[in-house]
A = this chain, B = another copy of it.
Amino acid sequence: MNNTREDKVSNKIRPKVLFFDVNETLLDLTVVKKQVGKALGGREDLLPLWFTTMLQYSLVTSASGQYKPFGHIGAAALQMVAANQDITITENEARTIISESMGNLPAHPEVKEALKELRNSGYKLVAFTNSSKDGLKKQFESAGLTEYFDELLSVEETGKFKPFTDTYAWGAKKMGIQSEECMLIAAHGWDVAGALWAGWRAAFISRPGQQNYPLAPKTEIVASDLKKVVDILVNYS
């Protein structure tokens, strides 16, 4: 059975570019959990609600034809979640908390080795994030990931956030390739769903607390960390 599966896998054609989501996919948000939890009066359990609210409001903003930096939306979401706990956080305080915590995240333990293996195997790697271009550069320098990537892309140039179809179309165009030649690697069901609906291929990293979107098309790779995704990708022909 195992052989059969590996044979199938190795018959798949390599995507021309691998696009990586950044937060949670490559970078470990544990530090954010502590710092945001502290700002919320010790309620670290509210991190998923804050993160989901940030993502919701990024789409609220795009759906209304508006643009605000992703970090500012994250800060506004923090103010809202805090206010529901009767905690007042000013806009400046919130922006400082988000910028300091999101700007200094370590990579998940398996990430660097896995990225190196992909490069050695001949893949082209691109970071593809909702964070601002400046934020992304800062995050990658801090985590020591810059050297592994051919290109660092922030969707801020599109004026919309992932998973708007326009953002994936822009990413493909930016790399000079067709949608079907792109693969997104992400630990977020919404990102994988958006990529698949935009005609990309996708791999889902099922990190703790992350789920695929049940109403989306099936993802060709699902694995619990990046190393396991890479083990499959290096066997693509």
- Residue of chain B at shortest CB distance from A197: B64
CA distance A73 to B190 in the complex (A): 12
What size tier do the contact residues of chain A reach?
Answer: 35 or more
A53 proximal to B (CB < 8 A): yes
| Contact in complex: B59, A59 (CB < 8 Å) | yes
Name the distance in Å between A42's Cβ and chain B's nearest Cβ: 15
Residue of A63, A72, A160, A165 with highest tally of chain B CB at under 10 A: A63
| Contact in complex: A80, B49 (CB < 8 Å) | no
Give the 3 A-B residue pairs with the shortest CB-CB distance, closest first. A59-B59, A64-B197, A80-B211
**Interface positions of A (Cβ within 8 A of B):** 45, 48-49, 52-53, 55-57, 59-66, 68, 72-73, 76, 79-80, 83-84, 91, 160, 163-165, 189-190, 193-194, 197-198, 209-211, 213-215
